[in-house]
Every structure is written in C-alpha cells, then in structure tokens.
Amino acid sequence: MEFVVIADRAPDECPSSNAKVRKMMGDAAGKLPTLAKSLGVEPVFTGAPMVDHKLSFVLRAANCEAVRNPLTKSGMIQTQTSHIYPTVSIEDALKMAAELTPTH
C-alpha cells in the first residue's frame, strides 16, 4: 500500500534558518532511505516545495505503523508534525465511488 506523508514544521524549525535542524536533516537525509528499507518501508518519492515549511513523501509499506516507524526512529517527530495518509489508485477510488449513492 502507498502512503502520502506531509510533514509540517514551524518556521524556526526550518533547515533554511536553523543550523541545528539543518545539520540534523542533512544527517537524516542520507540515513532515512536505509532506515526505512530496514523497517520494511520503500521510499518512492521525497520532495520539498521550498515555498512553505513542509516536506512530502510517498512511501510504500504494509500498514500505517510501518510508515510511522522510520519517522519516529529518524527523529523527524522532534521537529515536525507528520500527517500520514493511506492512498488508493485513482482506478480503485473511482470503483469505490461508483458503489456509493450520490448525494447531489
């Protein structure tokens, strides 16, 4: 299953302005893919919009707990709030929607 993770942080926790967070994020960036894989999570995409204080990830894992583990063990939870969203393909979403009674 694929999950989208959106991580938010306060401006004072941004690597562009906080030297301690910059070092921590720099260290974690190199270790996170290996850590994730060791915990059964496959990183698919990581991105930073650079116009706000967010990071986005697409991760493939068996369940939400598996996705949470590398976020916790990497220390990301110390400077960011991570929102984990399970996803389905557009095709599956449309099939699910077709089974619902329209409200409008």
Which tens digit of pLDDT belongs to each residue from 16-54? 889 988 888 888 878 888 999 999 999 999 898 888 889
Measured CA to CA, the distance from residue 92 to residue 82 in angstroms comes to 25
Domain count for the chain, please give it: 1
Domain that holds residue 25: 2-98
CATH code for position 54? 3.30.70.1030
Kindly give the pairing relationship between strand 2-8 and strand 54-60. Answer: antiparallel
Q: Would 104 be classed as within a structural domain?
A: no
Instruction: Give the per-residue pLDDT at 31.
Output: 85
- Whole-prediction pTM value? 0.84
Contacting residues for 15 by C-beta, under 8 A, at least 6 apart: 21, 22, 25, 26
Q: Would 67 be classed as within a structural domain?
A: yes
Q: Would 33 be classed as within a structural domain?
A: yes
Measured CA to CA, the distance from residue 41 to residue 73 in angstroms comes to 13
Q: Would 79 be classed as within a structural domain?
A: yes
Q: Would 103 be classed as within a structural domain?
A: no
Instruction: Give the per-residue pLDDT at 16.
Output: 86
